[in-house]
Amino acid sequence: MKREFRWLPYEGRRHAVRAVLVAHEVGETLCGVPLVVPATSPYERWCWPTCPGCDSAWRSHEGIPAFPRDGRAPGRYTPRRRQARDQRT
Ligand SMILES: [Zn+2]
């Protein structure tokens, strides 16, 4: 399946942009930041944090539930097996 958006590191965040944008082209991120697509994206820029605005816009476009789900905070995941065990006691 052809994706409509791709991820692109830009000004300290990994943003989503239209997949058709090529290097040096003027466009904007999914969260609305105007940009000129950089010619290269050095490896370390892919370690920048994901832009929350682009993440939620991309998820709603793809039909993926927002994160964190059910109001759970990220990083506080409890495995199902442990939940079941905890409920028995
Ligand atoms: Zn963004």
Q: pLDDT for 19-67, tens place per residue? A: 999 999 999 999 999 999 999 999 999 999 999 999 999 999 888 888 7
pLDDT at 62: 86
Residue 85, pLDDT above cutoff 80:
no
Residue 89, pLDDT above cutoff 70:
no
pLDDT at 66: 80
User: Do 17 and 34 form a contact (C-beta atoms < 8 A)?
Assistant: no
Q: Would you tell me how many other CB atoms lie within 10 Å of the CB of residue 51?
A: 24
Q: How far is the CA of 34 from the centre of ligand 1 (A)?
A: 10
Q: How far is the CA of 67 from the centre of ligand 1 (A)?
A: 15
Q: How far is the CA of 83 from the centre of ligand 1 (A)?
A: 35
User: Do 3 and 17 form a contact (C-beta atoms < 8 A)?
Assistant: no
Q: How far is the CA of 80 from the centre of ligand 1 (A)?
A: 33
Alpha carbon distance 11, 85 (integer Å): 45
Residue 71, pLDDT above cutoff 90:
no
> Left, alpha or beta for 74 (phi > 0: left; psi -120 to 50: alpha)?
beta
pLDDT at 64: 86
* pTM assigned to the model: 0.71
Q: Would you tell me how many other CB atoms lie within 10 Å of the CB of residue 41?
A: 16
Domain locations along the chain:
5-88
Q: How far is the CA of 75 from the centre of ligand 1 (A)?
A: 22
Q: How far is the CA of 25 from the centre of ligand 1 (A)?
A: 17
